[in-house]
Homo-oligomer: A and B are copies of this chain.
């Protein structure tokens, strides 16, 4: 099913991929040999972003750009990197383009910035987390995974290895494992099994804490999970 298991045969569509987080993930995965489709409302913008990523990732990188729905239809793995205020609307719009069996990896963080407040404060989401909201909005048979909330977009867009773990939460163990494999393709990143999707509510909030630390200390904060056996990271 996955591009990862089958060696890059099927692309990863990065929906909302023209923002800093989407571009950063695209760059790192393109460098790791994954085929990437940048998705955007605007096809031309998607294509110019894809071209910019190719320049950074190298000529052999497989990066293209499409309108979001087309990107969705061309991929088995969707990576959603949009601001919280855009998440629900976009998922409703893409519903008919999502086929059963695909995986939606959601990195949405519900920050008060979405409603004019601070990026260092989380919003409460009725379902518990942005990822659980996503799970309510996708068609049946689409697996939702929460991951990649806590990676600095600035650092992803650079050349150095990151110093951050990715906590992966999902109710679908296979989708979670595939996501952990994708995480581990980013240099310096370790993936940790964070359990069920409901735990995304904690992982999402950590981002707000890290943003506060960045504001206070002028850094690019990330987290490492310590004290677990080596088998916990993969």
Using a CB–CB distance below 8 Å, which chain A residues touch chain B? 120-122, 152, 155, 163-164, 167, 192-195, 198-199, 201-203, 205-206, 208-210, 212-214, 216-229, 231-232
Q: Would you give 14 A-B contacts (Cβ < 8 Å), ordered by A?
A: A120-B199, A121-B198, A155-B227, A163-B227, A167-B209, A192-B213, A195-B212, A202-B209, A216-B232, A217-B231, A219-B227, A219-B232, A222-B225, A223-B223
Extra inter-chain contacts (15) besides given A163-B226, A202-B205, A222-B227, CB under 8 Å: A120-B195, A120-B199, A194-B213, A195-B216, A199-B209, A202-B206, A202-B208, A202-B209, A206-B206, A216-B232, A217-B229, A217-B231, A219-B228, A222-B225, A223-B223
Q: Which residues of B are found within 8 Å of A205, using beta-carbon distances? A: 201-202, 205
Copies in the complex: 2
The docked-state distance in angstroms from the alpha carbon of A203 to that of B231 is 26
Q: Which residues of B are found within 8 Å of A199, using beta-carbon distances? A: 120, 209, 212
Q: Is the CB of B226 within 8 A of A213?
A: no
Q: Is the CB of A221 within 8 A of B217?
A: no
Q: Which residues of B are found within 8 Å of A217, using beta-carbon distances? A: 193, 228-229, 231-232
Q: Which residues of B are found within 8 Å of A232, using beta-carbon distances? A: 213, 216-217, 219
Residue among A152, A202, A208 with the most chain B CB within 10 A?
A: A202
Q: Which residues of B are found within 8 Å of A201, using beta-carbon distances? A: 205
Q: How far is the CB of A202 from chain B (nearest CB, A)?
A: 4
Q: Which residues of B are found within 8 Å of A221, using beta-carbon distances? A: 225-228
Q: Which residues of B are found within 8 Å of A193, using beta-carbon distances? A: 213, 216-217
